[in-house]
Amino acid sequence: MASARSTRASAAVDRLKRRTGNLAYSMARTADGLFFLSEAPGAPALNPPLELDDFVAFVNGLGPQEVRRISKNDEKFEKQLVRKKPAE
């Protein structure tokens, strides 16, 4: 389970690196399994040690956000979903 946790956290850091262009971001784990991020290995932490879900949310909120690209058909479908909400 520990490797899956680290994989999810490191994937979030990799996405941050792509979004910002800063390849020096570094993630570390504490002995009790909490995560923190720094701008470079050995640099001060940017956050207090966090649980996995909180860490991933923190990292995902940093830097420019990726714009979700949707096709015109997807856009029309989403509008239809909004119009067809069931009556209560």
**Whole-number pLDDT of residue 88:** 56
Mean pLDDT of the chain: 84
Reported pTM: 0.67
**Whole-number pLDDT of residue 85:** 60
**Whole-number pLDDT of residue 64:** 73
**Whole-number pLDDT of residue 3:** 62
**Whole-number pLDDT of residue 25:** 93
Tracing tokens 């784990």 back to the chain, one arrives at 29
pLDDT under 50 in the chain at which residues? none
Give percent above pLDDT 90 in the chain: 52
Task: State which H helix or E strand residue 26 sits in.
Answer: strand 26-29
SS3 27: strand
